Amino acid sequence: MATIVGAIGTSHVPVLGKAIAQKLQQDPYFKPWFDGFTRVHEWLAETRPDVVVVFYNDHGLNFFLDAMPTFAIGAAEQYRNADEGWGIPTLDPFPGEPGLSWHIIDEVIRRDFDLCTCQEMLVDHAFTLPMKMLWPEGPVPRAVPIAINTVQYPLPSAARCYALGQAVGDAVRSWDEDARVLVLATGGLSHQLDGERAGFINKPFDLKFLDSLTDDPRWATRYSVEELVEHTGTQGVELLMWLAARATLGDTAHEVHRNYHIPISNTAAGLIALEPV
């Protein structure tokens, strides 16, 4: 059976792609962020994941406002990047793991989740940037992308995303393959890109949320989507992906490492690595 070796949550701020492309990782503005990955790189070398399940949100590349599924999963042999994320060059296709994709689809639909199944899927910077930050020299593990709608109202509730993560975690552990699986969540933390609150950051809420991922993982599920937007900003609601990833680990988890840095392009940037207990 497959094993979930851990979960990672990380921001996918597009300007980080520019920093990578221009080799600005040690620039004083970006250094506190990229230095935060050193321990995670070491941990990934120790855990050696074969497959990564990626909870992310699409920004209008594969899905647009005229057709925005609440939950969508890729079941392709590979995933092409057609969005450079305002800085990072278009990357080579990412290898898929359709065997695990179809197993998750079967198991999760049995749990009454209605997934949009995509046998072709383009992935944007929400997927490519975290993969590049976690495996800067490659190669990357085979991937199963799962998109959660955090763009067009109505959004799924935090509790529903947590339940989805539980179902995905159970599905992964029941996959009849000897594989080491990492779960990755991308997006957040608090930020708002437009409107009267453009530039909004809520550090106390971010830190409480990071603490809760080990102390009280269902803490954020007590908030409605509207309340989460109020606390974190319009785009800060991307923490829904973090909740889904955390839920795959079960009730208890150990924090391996975290980093929190503000601001990166008027955004609160977070990183956390967790492993099941």
125 labelled catalytic? yes
Tokens of residue 249, six digits: 């680990």
Instruction: Give pLDDT tens digits along the chain (277 positions).
Output: 999 999 999 999 999 999 999 999 999 999 999 999 999 999 999 999 999 999 999 998 899 989 999 999 999 999 998 876 666 788 889 999 999 999 999 999 999 999 999 999 999 999 999 999 999 998 999 999 999 999 999 999 999 999 999 999 999 999 999 999 999 999 999 999 888 898 899 999 999 999 999 999 999 999 999 999 999 999 999 999 999 999 999 999 999 999 999 999 999 999 999 999 9
What is this structure's pTM? 0.96
Q: CATH classification of 3-276, choosing from 3.40.190.10, 1.10.3210.10, 3.30.700.30, 3.40.830.10?
A: 3.40.830.10
Euclidean distance between CA atoms 268 and 51, whole angstroms:
28
Q: Which of 59, 125, 231, 261 is catalytic?
A: 125
Under a CB-based contact definition with an 8 Å cutoff, are residues 40 and 8 in contact?
yes
Euclidean distance between CA atoms 265 and 21, whole angstroms:
16
Under a CB-based contact definition with an 8 Å cutoff, are residues 216 and 245 in contact?
no
pLDDT value for 85: 62
Nearest Cα to Cα of residue 261 among 79, 94, 14, 30: 30
Q: Strand pairing of 180-186 and 71-74?
A: unpaired
257 labelled catalytic? no
Strand partners, 94: 79
Under a CB-based contact definition with an 8 Å cutoff, are residues 117 and 159 in contact?
no
pLDDT value for 42: 98
- Where in the chain are the domains? 3-276
Under a CB-based contact definition with an 8 Å cutoff, are residues 253 and 277 in contact?
yes
DSSP one-letter code for 154:
S
Q: Which of 103, 191, 231, 261 is catalytic?
A: 191
